[in-house]
Chain A
Amino acid sequence: MQKGRFGIHGGQFVPETLMNAVIELEKAYAFYSKDAHFNRELDDLLKNYAGRPSLLYHAEKMTRDLGGAKIYLKREDLNHTGSHKINNVLGQILLAKKMGKSRVIAETGAGQHGVATATAAALMGMKCDVYMGREDTQRQALNVFRMELLGATVHSVTSGTQTLKDAVNETMREWTNRIEDTHYVLGSVMGPHPFPTIVRNFQSVIGKEVRQQILKAEGKLPDALLACVGGGSNAIGLFYEFIGDDSVALIGCEAAGLGVDTPKNAATVANGTLGIFHGMKSYFCQDEYGQIAPVYSISAGLDYPGIGPEHANLHDTGRAQYVSVTDTEAVEAFEYLSKTEGIIPAIESAHAVAYAQKLAPTMKKDQILVVNLSGRGDKDVAAIAKYRGVKIDE
């Protein structure tokens, strides 16, 4: 009876009220994912609206500067709305429309998923409500206004730690309240089955493109792939295509906040234990009684106490490796990439860039490292200025 398992992880731990909704979603996805017309429509949106394929850019200066592996950046930051989130959102909202839904709801941390959802909802004529922790509405005030510009209603969530976890709680509560006309556009590879599978499949376009692009550019597969991990959607989107290629190292970068040994971090694989939360069995930062820990990261998008079940399984099997990157390292990488390549990365993606700075010099010059630049950093400029003690009068 147990569906949507990745090893021991995953499952469908949701209130009975939502069971028929997730079953209906599973059936609709099973049908439309094989429907030629649906796939043509989605391909068209990805190409002509989101701007895919995204570039695989050879970061020549960075490569030279670090003096090791040849570094490529997968430019998800160049997608419409500025991050990889649009890949999943276009797929899910198109699916919701086929299912006859007229309204979408979504959680958001940094605001990237909320902006992408509000954007696709505007395009496809759906009503849209976005739930965002109050602390994040302050960290990412510009994205709140952006969503409102796009016609969405943004709800500030004041419960718990007022961040991404609480935004997910509140969106789930709203879904139990209104199911008939509403689809929950979950933004990461988490939650109850079938979300981790659906979101992964919609994001797997990233890795599929990388395979083609790197084979064309280099005639061989990369040696390592790097991506930041909160829930893990951009990472799994990059990794999935390469899971069967044992020569390709898969490395996820978690947010270590002030440090993995301090109470203020969001490094789930490093510090988490097995639990059942937000619809799934996976690893979570929590105490001995199963109370979810109040996690922290400078990055609102990685400030989440869990990790998607497929990542948890990739960790268990040893197929992927998960490393921790602190706030300080991420901010330095944010500035480094801006100055070295003229590309301002999202603070989330900067976690992967930071680890690339450590890893590349240890690799040989004929080896290839691909870093997923999951989003652009415009939204973070004010926060980084504040971190550096610079006052900006907007």
Chain B
Amino acid sequence: MNRIRNVFANGKAFIPFVTAGDPNLAITERLVLEMAEAGADLIELGIPFSDPVAEGIVIQKADERALAAGTTTDKIFDMVRRIRNKLDIPLAFMTYANPIFVYGADKFLANCSACGIDAIIVPDVPYEEKGELLPSCEKYGVALISLIAPTSKERIGMIASQAQGFVYCVSSLGVTGVRSEITTDIAQMIALVKTAQNIPCAIGFGISTPEQASTMAKIADGVIVGSAIVKLVEQYGEHCVGPVRDYVLKMKRSISA
């Protein structure tokens, strides 16, 4: 969990997301190395799920491609082990309750710890159900990231007071995906978090352009971008590493300015 502290130690954090195994795990491995080189401060790896209810169409399709390519949780753990031999960047898994629960929460988090995953983000495990994962997370020293949404309102204090690592602030209603504008009063959400606990806040959902990232970075400690990167992976397939690296460079620069 110490690596999570480093995420926000050097100015505003840029946090890219890719679906592991899209288009295949060899490319995902190269993407992680290149994104780290290009300035990513933490990398989120999606473990593909057959029915990702919090995802928009872009990441849904990425999950389908990854599963069709034969990606499994065990193969992803193997890839993370290979990455960890070369890289010390903080890494988080993003997936759903079922792949973790069916794998066995204890075994899953033991493997996370052993291969160097620092945090997990599980959108369908809200505060009320975190007992499903938290004991194993604590046992193995993996942070369970809390999410807050524009609809959280009076729940923010409760959630933030027990949050670990950083708080994932969902920028908008709906599922993941690129949005032309973000209208939520995120500054207000973040102020409520900071009142409950002085913990870093990263904003995700809908961010794709350097301008949006720059605006969001002014009010938060970090910016999370998923669908915009996954779209590049979809567009360029096995040749996506260069375009993604260039995109991450550009985004990191926009929030550091």
Question: Is A1 interfacial (CB 8 A cutoff)?
Answer: yes
| Complex interface: chain A residues within 8 A of B131 (CB) | 1-2
The reply to whether B97 and A15 form a contact with Cβ atoms under 8 Å apart is no
The docked-state distance in angstroms from the alpha carbon of A166 to that of B97 is 17
Which one of A12, A21, A176, A274 lies within 8 Å of B175 (CB-CB)?
A: A176
Q: What 0/1 readout, one digit per residue, does chain B (126-168) give for beta carbons within 8 Å of chain A?
A: 1111011000000000000001111111010001000000000
Number of interface residues of A (CB under 8 A): 40
| Complex interface: chain B residues within 8 A of A48 (CB) | none
The reply to whether A15 and B126 form a contact with Cβ atoms under 8 Å apart is yes
Q: What 0/1 readout, one digit per residue, does chain A (122-156) give for beta carbons within 8 Å of chain B?
A: 00000000000000000000000000000000000
Q: What 0/1 readout, one digit per residue, does chain B (117-131) give for beta carbons within 8 Å of chain A?
A: 000000111111101
| Complex interface: chain A residues within 8 A of B100 (CB) | 290
Nearest residue, chain B, Cβ from A165: B51
Question: Is B19 interfacial (CB 8 A cutoff)?
Answer: no
- Give the distance to chain A from B67, nearest Cβ to Cβ, in Å: 7
Residue among B57, B67, B132, B149 facing the most chain A CB atoms (10 A cut-off): B149
- Give the distance to chain A from B158, nearest Cβ to Cβ, in Å: 11
Known interface pairs A276-B124, A290-B103, A291-B67; A15-B147 also in contact (CB < 8 Å): yes
The docked-state distance in angstroms from the alpha carbon of A3 to that of B131 is 12
The reply to whether B60 and A15 form a contact with Cβ atoms under 8 Å apart is no
The reply to whether B51 and A169 form a contact with Cβ atoms under 8 Å apart is yes
| Complex interface: chain A residues within 8 A of B74 (CB) | 289
Question: Is A67 interfacial (CB 8 A cutoff)?
Answer: no
Nearest residue, chain A, Cβ from B76: A289
The reply to whether B129 and A11 form a contact with Cβ atoms under 8 Å apart is yes
Which one of B101, B126, B149, B155 lies within 8 Å of A12 (CB-CB)?
A: B126
The reply to whether A276 and B54 form a contact with Cβ atoms under 8 Å apart is no
- Give the distance to chain A from B132, nearest Cβ to Cβ, in Å: 7
- 8 Å CB contacts to B: which residues of A152-202? 159-160, 165-166, 169, 172-173, 176-179
Number of interface residues of B (CB under 8 A): 41
Which one of B51, B127, B151 lies within 8 Å of A179 (CB-CB)?
A: B151
Question: Is B174 interfacial (CB 8 A cutoff)?
Answer: yes
Question: Is A38 interfacial (CB 8 A cutoff)?
Answer: no
The reply to whether A291 and B49 form a contact with Cβ atoms under 8 Å apart is yes
The reply to whether A17 and B149 form a contact with Cβ atoms under 8 Å apart is yes
The docked-state distance in angstroms from the alpha carbon of A276 to that of B131 is 13
Known interface pairs A276-B97, A277-B51, A290-B98; A14-B124 also in contact (CB < 8 Å): yes
The reply to whether A21 and B129 form a contact with Cβ atoms under 8 Å apart is no
The reply to whether A273 and B126 form a contact with Cβ atoms under 8 Å apart is no
| Complex interface: chain A residues within 8 A of B147 (CB) | 15-16
The reply to whether B129 and A13 form a contact with Cβ atoms under 8 Å apart is yes
- Give the distance to chain A from B124, nearest Cβ to Cβ, in Å: 5
The reply to whether A17 and B51 form a contact with Cβ atoms under 8 Å apart is no
- Give the distance to chain A from B58, nearest Cβ to Cβ, in Å: 12
Question: Is B173 interfacial (CB 8 A cutoff)?
Answer: yes
- Give the distance to chain A from B193, nearest Cβ to Cβ, in Å: 13
| Complex interface: chain B residues within 8 A of A172 (CB) | 53
Known interface pairs A2-B128, A13-B124, A16-B126; A290-B102 also in contact (CB < 8 Å): yes
Question: Is B99 interfacial (CB 8 A cutoff)?
Answer: yes
| Complex interface: chain A residues within 8 A of B98 (CB) | 275-277, 284, 286, 290, 292
The reply to whether B123 and A15 form a contact with Cβ atoms under 8 Å apart is yes
| Complex interface: chain B residues within 8 A of A385 (CB) | none
Known interface pairs A173-B174, A179-B173, A276-B132; A19-B155 also in contact (CB < 8 Å): yes
Which one of A16, A273, A289 lies within 8 Å of B152 (CB-CB)?
A: A16
- Give the distance to chain A from B51, nearest Cβ to Cβ, in Å: 5
Question: Is A262 interfacial (CB 8 A cutoff)?
Answer: no
Question: Is B170 interfacial (CB 8 A cutoff)?
Answer: yes
| Complex interface: chain B residues within 8 A of A286 (CB) | 98, 102
Question: Is B73 interfacial (CB 8 A cutoff)?
Answer: yes
Question: Is B215 interfacial (CB 8 A cutoff)?
Answer: no
Question: Is B50 interfacial (CB 8 A cutoff)?
Answer: yes
Question: Is A317 interfacial (CB 8 A cutoff)?
Answer: no
Question: Is B72 interfacial (CB 8 A cutoff)?
Answer: yes
- Give the distance to chain B from A195, nearest Cβ to Cβ, in Å: 15
| Complex interface: chain A residues within 8 A of B102 (CB) | 273-275, 286, 288-290
> Can you list 29 A-B contacts with CB-CB less than 8 angstroms, sorted by A residue number?
A2-B131, A3-B128, A11-B129, A13-B97, A15-B123, A16-B155, A16-B159, A17-B173, A17-B174, A19-B151, A19-B152, A20-B152, A20-B153, A20-B155, A160-B51, A166-B51, A173-B54, A177-B173, A274-B101, A276-B101, A281-B101, A284-B98, A286-B98, A289-B73, A289-B103, A290-B100, A290-B102, A291-B67, A292-B98
Beyond A13-B97, A173-B53, A276-B124: 14 further Cβ-contacts under 8 Å?
A: A12-B126, A13-B125, A13-B126, A16-B147, A16-B148, A16-B149, A19-B151, A159-B57, A159-B60, A172-B53, A179-B173, A276-B101, A288-B102, A289-B103
| Chain B residues engaging chain A, CB cutoff 8 angstroms | 49-51, 53-54, 56-57, 60, 67, 72-74, 97-103, 123-129, 131-132, 147-153, 155, 159, 170, 173-175
User: Nearest 10 CB-CB pairs, A to B?
Assistant: A290-B102, A177-B174, A17-B149, A276-B97, A290-B98, A290-B99, A291-B50, A292-B50, A16-B149, A16-B147
